[in-house]
Every structure is written in C-alpha cells, then in structure tokens.
Structure 1
Amino acid sequence: MPPASAATSLGATLWRQTWPMAIGVLALLGFQLVDSAFVARLGTAPLAAQSFTFPLSFLIIGVQVGLGIAIAALISRALGAGEALRARRLGSLVLMVGSATIALLALVLWWTQAPIFSRLGADAITRALIRDYWAPQLFAAWLGAVLYFVYSLFRAHGDTRLPGKMMVMTSLVNLVLDPLLIFGVGPWEGLGLPGAAWATAIAFGCGLLMAIKRLRRNDWLARHGLKLELAASLRPFASIAGPAMISQLMPPLASMLAVSVVADLGGSAVAAWGLASRLETLALVVVLAMTMSLPPWLGRCYGAGDWIQIRRLIGLALKVVVVWQLSLGMILALLSPWAAHLLAGSPEVRDDLTVLIRFLLPSYAALGVCMLVVSAGNALGWPLRAMLMSAARLFLCYLPGLWLGASLGGLAGLAIGAALGNVLAGMAAWQLMRRMQARSEASEHGEPKLFSRERT
C-alpha cells in the first residue's frame, strides 16, 4: 500500500475508533452537569452536601480508571500476541478483582464517613444530609465502576462503538430519572438529594445489564484456569494499575492546590477559575476520547511487536491533537468575551473568565500532547515513566508556573503562568516521544530499549 493510502487508512481507522468515545465522554460530562443542576434546585444545603462528597468520588474514579487502564493494556497485548484464550481468562479475572476492589473501597468509605466529612468541614446538618445520600451514591459508584471495567474490555477488543452508545444511553436515563426521583411526580414528593444517587444507580444498572449481555454473546470471558492465570498475571497487572492509579489521583490533588492559589485573588477569580475548569474538560473531549481509544490499539501492536505501526499511530494522534486543540483554542481565545458572557453572570467574573480563556485554551494543544504520551506509556510497557511524566507536568511545570504568575501579575499572570506550564509539559513529553522513536528506529530486531517492560 502506498504511504499516502496507508496514512489515509490509518487516519480513517483512528477516526472510527475515537468519535464514539468522544460522544460518550461528552455525554458523561453532561451527566455530571445535569445532576448538579437538579440538586441546586433543592437549595444551598443539599448542593453543599453533594459537593463534600466529590473528593471521595474522585478517589473511587481514580482507582477504577487505573484498574481500567491495566485491563485494556494486558488484554490488548494478549490479543496482539495471538493469545485469545488468555485474553478471555484475563477478562474474567479483572471483572471479579476490580469489582471486589471497588466494593471494599466503598465499604471503607461508608464506615469512615463521619470522621472524613468532619475533617472536610461539614457541620452536623450537612453530615445528616450526606448520611442519607452517601449509601446510594456509593452503590451507584460501584455500579459505575463495574460498567467502566466492562467498557475497558470492549475497548481492549477494539470495540469503541458500544461503550460510546452505552455512555449516551445511561446519560439519557439519568436525565429522565433525575427530576422524577429528586422532586417526585404527582402526589409523590420524591426522595430529594438521595434521588440523584438512585437515578445514577438505575442508569448505570441498565447500562450494565445491556453491556454484560453483549459481553457474554461475544464469548470474551472464561471459567477455567483462572487461579493459574491470577498467579501469573497479578504482578504485571499491579505494575500497570498501581502507577496508573497514582497518576489519576494526582490531578485532583493539583486541582485543590491550584484553587488555594486562586483563592488569594478573590471570589470572582475563584468563580471564573471554576468555570474555566469546566470549560477545560469540554475543550479536551477529543483528547480524552483518544486516551481511551488509542491505548488498546497500541497494546495490540505492542503484543505483536509491530513498532512501525506504533510510530505511525502515535505520530498521527499527536498531529491530530495539536492541530485540533490549537485551532479550537485560538478560536475560543478570539471569542473569549462572548464565551465569558454566555457562561458567567456578574461583570467581574466575566472579565476574569475572559482573561483565563484567552491564555489557557490555546495551551491545551501542548497539554493534549502530554496527556497522549502518558496514556501511550501505560499501553507500551512503561507505566512508571508515564506516572513520572504526569507528576512532572503537574508539580514541576503547571503548579509552579501558576503560583509564580499569580505572585507577579495577579490573575493575568496566573493565566500566563499556567499556560506556560502546559507548554513546558508538552515540550517535555514531545522530547520523550522523540527519544523513544529514535531508539526504536535504531533497533532493527527485538524491542527498543525505551519500550522494554519496566521491572517492578
């Protein structure tokens, strides 16, 4: 196949793998916004109670995403190496181990809720609201984690369409059930704040039933040889899942530190920063989708030893991310006054948000490069390097730039410093990728040194 035709075919496949996940991620982001919007109608106290649970919810999500990364990496490698039976054994194991791990974590968070929420600053009235909400919310979180593990199996087998459709479907079910269960209908008054958790649990439960039915039809699970497979795969699974979970838990920590810096600039700056953070997630939806669709593909190439295809895939993905994010960022920067007017209420918040959009959004092109390199690292056998790259981005580039900029130039300096931190992180990730490519090209046979499996 000529190079131009090969590139076109590769791009078309990347598009088919990524767009369903992009739509699904966008639906999940809407999922969270809908919950908060309905809970806000209950009043300030229920909204505050729900907000106190967010850090612990992020903890559960960090653990489940780390396990999901390991699931997709190991199974896709087994498939790439032609070990279909082993892939089925791994599928059964990760569903059982992952479900049990999240269930244990949920139980611990339930039993320790009183001291945890007291430490977070919740008063007695707020803790009473949390107590009614926390049990169904943890149950919903467990169902969501199991559903995420099932999605990871589909992605490992190259199917991104069903996870994308399921994400949209569960979001729509949640959208319909939220007002019914929170506010009630007719003579039924509804459940209030716990209704939001039960709506989420039912939505995830419906998605899980449909996904498991499809999973069994595809014959991707095994019943025999699981004990031996567990003994053989536990160490490589932990070597990927551990660093990946740490990488997923670092952004919430960095976010809390960033808010503490922004808080010194005043209430309008904090409000604008919160809106900019939500806009960041939406602006990076294509990158987030690609970090889900690309690693299983890379893992299959890794298992087959196809380093030429790996270089092509990574090169194409990086080009797409840079062009897309830079174009989107420049357009939003030019339209920042109008975008801020749509999102913000008071003039002070609008002015601050305009400054943040103008400087931060174009820098997400570099941030996207770093995110892709970290995601590829977990698929290509170097999770420790991926974790260190993630830590360097947050704690050596982003946070120092943000703090120094705020100290020297207020909100504008903060925006410039954060943007420069993203650019530095992107450049470091690009240099790491170039080193990997250079070493792989220098090796004619066998695995390139930088792609070799890390010892733990």
Structure 2
Amino acid sequence: MSRNTSLLLKYLFKQTWPMLVGLFSIMGSQLVDSIFIAKLGAEPLAVVAFSIAIFQVIVGVQVGLGIAATATISTALGENKVNYARYLGSLIVFIGTVIVTLLCLALWFFQQPIILALGATPSLFNLTELYRLPWLISCWLGALLYFGYSICRAHNETLLPGRIMVLTSVLNIALDPLFMFTFDMGLAGAAWASCVAFAIGLVVVFYTLIKRELITFDVLKNRTEQAIKAIAKMMAPALLSQFIPPISAMIVTALIAAYGGFAVAAWGLANRIEYIAIILILALTMALPPIVGNLKGRGELRQILSVVKLACGFVIGIQILLAVIMLGVANPLANALSNNSEIVANLTDYFAFVPLSYAALGVCMITVSVCNALGFATTALFISILRLFLCYLPLLWLGSHFYGLTGLFIGMACGNTLSGIVGWQLFKQQYKRLTTHVSVRSITV
C-alpha cells in the first residue's frame, strides 16, 4: 500500500466511523422504541406503521435538501469561497425550514384522509388524534436537525453529528418510559420523548454551527440567485431519487405477498438484517460526499477517483466477508429469528443468495452518492432509475416466474450485482467527461 493510499484510507476511516456509530445508535433507539410501543398493544403499533409510510415523504425532502447542502457547500469550500459556503448553509436552513413547515401543516390537515387511503380503520383515528401533533413536531425538529448534520458534514465535520446522533438516541431511550408510562401519555409519549431529544440535539448542533461560523446571518445580495439556483439544481433530482426505494419496496413486497404470509414475514425479518449488513455502506455514503465535493472544488480530480476506488474496494471486501459469515450461520440465525419452519426455510434461502450481492449494491450506492457530490444529480437519479427498472425488478420477476420464491431471491442477488456494474460504468463515464472538460478549459485559459 502506497503512502498516499494509506493517508486516504485513514482520512476515509476518520470521516466514516462517527457516522457508523451514529447510525447504530439510531437503529438501537428505534428498536427500543418499538419494544416500548409494543407493550401498548397492536393498535399503537399499527398507527406507527401508517405514520412511517407518511414519514417517508418528509425524509425524502430532508435528504434531498441535505444532498444539495453537502454538494454545494463542500465544492464552495474546495474553491476557497468560505463566505459563500456559509451563506449556502444559511439558505439551506431557511429553505428547508419553510418547505418542511408547509409539509407538516399539510399533513396536519390531511393526515386522517391519507391514513384512511392507506388502509387504516376508523378505530385507529382516536389514537391518531392524540399522536399526530407531537409526531409532526418531532418530524419537523428531526428534519431541521438533519439539515444541521448536512452542513457539518459539508465542512468535513462528522464527529459532531455522530455524537449528537448518539446523544439524541440515548435521550430518546431514557425518556420513552418516562413519558409513555410514568406520565401515562401512551403512544403520544413516545413522540414527545423524540421531540425533547431532537430539541436538545438541535440546540447543540446550531450553537456549534454559529460558534464556529459555519453559517452566517449576513445576506450576500449579489449571490442569492446563484445560490438558490445551485441548491435547486441539486435538490430536484436528489428529491426524486429518494422516492425510488419506497416504490421498489412496495413492488417487491407485492411480489413476495403472492407466496403467502410466511414469505412476507420472512421478508420483513430479512429487511432488518439487510439494514444491519449494509450499515457501513450507509455511513460511507454520508462521509464521502463532502470529501469528494471538496476535492472537486480544489481541482484534485485524480484524488476523487482514488478515494472512490478505495471506498468501493473496502465495501466489496467487507461485504464479501459478511456474506461468508452469514452463510455459515444462516440456519442458526434463521432459527433465532423465528421458530416457524416455513419462515426459517425462506430466510435460509435468502441468506444463501442475497448477502453476497450487497458488495455490488454498495458500489451502486457509492456511485450515486459521489455523482450527487460532484454536482451530477441527474446522473445519480438515472443510476437509481436504471437500478430499479432495468436491473432489479425485471430479474426479480424472472427469477420468481421460473423458480418461485427461491428464484426471486436469486433474481434479487443478480439485480444487485448488475446494478453495481451499471452504476460503476456510468460513474466512470461521468468522471471522464469531468476530467476532459477541466482539461479543455485549462488549455483554453
């Protein structure tokens, strides 16, 4: 390993591990939250399930704007436009607050018709009435907190978001039983606990942003139009790409539902395992964009390719190792997750074929993240669309058609693998265009 590669690896690790710890803490918090809510009965769990479906809309908006924040700010910093980068951060917070506020107000007035359209029964409405105000407030606070995280990451500061993720998760776990059972608020108490945790996190992150002068209250009048255009250019395709995973999940669930309730139950458990298995990939997709955007701003394009290759190689190695381990423990792991023989058989098939393809899926996710960071949000959206409609769903259907549920899992693995190949090829094409454009511009100048 060369000295330059070693330095890149150390820097990549430094930026990634706080996100990894933060994501693990959030995942643990959500699991504990579900356990507490389950004690209240089936109806509260159903209300939460319907709320999660609506929450995906808010998540799509906040992640789309977060991608725009990371890409535009990190590039500006790489070009040494520090004041402009601070101003972009302030605009992100302002625009995000306005959009999320309007969205939450719309959900406040139309939540019941939306939940009814999703298939909820009228008996859930009373619980929804008590839950929706604190839940919407928690969504609003969580979105603003995410914007703060995005600005921090854009400035290559991942330690602070990681720490605050842990802080809010621990607070949420501690406050859940207090609000839900001690104060006898029930399901609404879980949402109020999230509100308090997010509010404390919000104070910490924005106090730090202001103290470190990562956002500014000064208006750069001659740069406002340019800044809004840059944000909008990135946000629109990034926002659209955020709605692709839920669409994919709904279609896959419908395909699996044809094989009965046990197959759906196995798929639900497999999804939980998948989230744990790809958590390193998720952390890298959060850590890479500010690094790449900064390198682009400084014109160090060769370093971009090096860091992307390094990240992809690391993901491939780790995911293959995890797949081998999961294959070795497939049967005992499946039995630990369920005592139903049909569910165990389905899970064992899943572990046999799908986890190995997470390596290629990781490459696809990294290329999408990097294309967004380079300002090629349309290419990132194109990769996401191709993954779903060219690579993933057709092969799922073919596998299911010829070999049943096992074939569906084989098709899933093949689809993930193909999406990694397609994503990498499209990224290389876009990278070549970028380097050619910069070379031509340099010669012209």
The two structures have a TM-score, normalised by structure 1, of 0.94
| Displacement after TM superposition at 1:340 (Å) | 1.1
| Displacement after TM superposition at 1:444 (Å) | 7.4
Deviations 1:152-172 (A, max 9, x none): 111000010111111011111
Deviations 1:355-414 (A, max 9, x none): 112211110001000000000010112100100101111122112222221222122111
| 2:27 pairs with one of 11, 26, 29 | 29
Matched residues in 2 for 1:93 and 1:56: separation? 26
Q: Give the 3 Å change call, closer, same or farther, for CA 227–194 of structure 1 in structure 2.
A: farther
Aligned residues: 442
| Displacement after TM superposition at 1:55 (Å) | 1.1
| 2:361 pairs with one of 367, 374, 393 | 367
Deviations 1:406-446 (A, max 9, x none): 22212211110111100110111122233345556667725
The one-letter amino acid of 2:23's match is V
Bigger drift between 369-378 and 387-396 goes to 387-396
3-state SS of 2:243 partner: helix
Check if 1:235 corresponds to 2:229: yes
Q: Give the 3 Å change call, closer, same or farther, for CA 124–236 of structure 1 in structure 2.
A: same
Deviations 1:9-36 (A, max 9, x none): 1100001010110111111122222222
Partner of 1:423: 417
| 2:196 pairs with one of 202, 210, 223 | 202
| Maintained 8 Å contact 1:360/1:415 | yes
Matched residues in 1 for 2:27 and 2:59: separation? 14
| Displacement after TM superposition at 1:344 (Å) | 2.1
The one-letter amino acid of 1:410's match is G
| Displacement after TM superposition at 1:127 (Å) | 1.9
In structure 1, list runs of 5 or more residues that go unmatched. 449-456
| Maintained 8 Å contact 1:287/1:321 | yes
| Maintained 8 Å contact 1:243/1:384 | yes
| 2:115 pairs with one of 108, 114, 117 | 117
| 2:385 pairs with one of 376, 382, 391 | 391
Alignment of 1:326-341 (within 5 A): 326-341=320-335
Matched residues in 2 for 1:246 and 1:59: separation? 11
In structure 2, list runs of 5 or more residues that go unmatched. none
| Displacement after TM superposition at 1:73 (Å) | 0.6
Bigger drift between 70-79 and 393-402 goes to 393-402
Alignment of 1:42-81 (within 5 A): 42-81=40-79
| Maintained 8 Å contact 1:254/1:395 | no
Alignment of 1:400-419 (within 5 A): 400-419=394-413
Matched residues in 1 for 2:288 and 2:198: separation? 25
Partner of 1:20: 18
Matched residues in 1 for 2:187 and 2:255: separation? 31
Partner of 2:175: 177
Check if 1:153 corresponds to 2:147: no
Matched residues in 2 for 1:66 and 1:336: separation? 36
Matched residues in 1 for 2:89 and 2:257: separation? 45
Deviations 1:228-283 (A, max 9, x none): 43322112211111111111111011101111111000111100000111111111
| Displacement after TM superposition at 1:309 (Å) | 1.0
Check if 1:376 corresponds to 2:370: yes
| Maintained 8 Å contact 2:87/2:220 | yes
Partner of 2:98: 100
Partner of 1:453: none
Partner of 1:435: 429
| Displacement after TM superposition at 1:93 (Å) | 1.1
Partner of 2:349: 355
The one-letter amino acid of 2:71's match is A
Partner of 1:254: 248
Matched residues in 2 for 1:38 and 1:305: separation? 51
Matched residues in 2 for 1:138 and 1:232: separation? 32
Matched residues in 1 for 2:206 and 2:213: separation? 11
| Maintained 8 Å contact 1:333/1:362 | no
The one-letter amino acid of 1:284's match is I
| 1:280 pairs with one of 271, 274, 287 | 274
| Maintained 8 Å contact 2:33/2:190 | yes
| Maintained 8 Å contact 2:334/2:348 | yes
Alignment of 1:299-338 (within 5 A): 299-338=293-332
Matched residues in 2 for 1:444 and 1:384: separation? 19
Check if 1:297 corresponds to 2:286: no
Matched residues in 2 for 1:201 and 1:27: separation? 17
| Maintained 8 Å contact 1:334/1:358 | no
| Maintained 8 Å contact 1:79/1:300 | yes
| Maintained 8 Å contact 2:172/2:193 | yes
Partner of 1:4: 2
Deviations 1:55-88 (A, max 9, x none): 1111111110010000011110110000001111
Deviations 1:105-156 (A, max 9, x none): 0111111112111111111111221121111111101101100100111100
The one-letter amino acid of 2:175's match is L
3-state SS of 1:445 partner: helix
The one-letter amino acid of 1:208's match is L
Matched residues in 2 for 1:46 and 1:410: separation? 35
Matched residues in 1 for 2:387 and 2:6: separation? 32
3-state SS of 1:142 partner: helix
3-state SS of 1:294 partner: helix
| Maintained 8 Å contact 1:301/1:307 | yes
| 1:267 pairs with one of 261, 284, 297 | 261
| Displacement after TM superposition at 1:227 (Å) | 4.5
The two structures have a TM-score, normalised by structure 2, of 0.96
3-state SS of 1:221 partner: coil
**CA RMSD, aligned part only?**
1.6
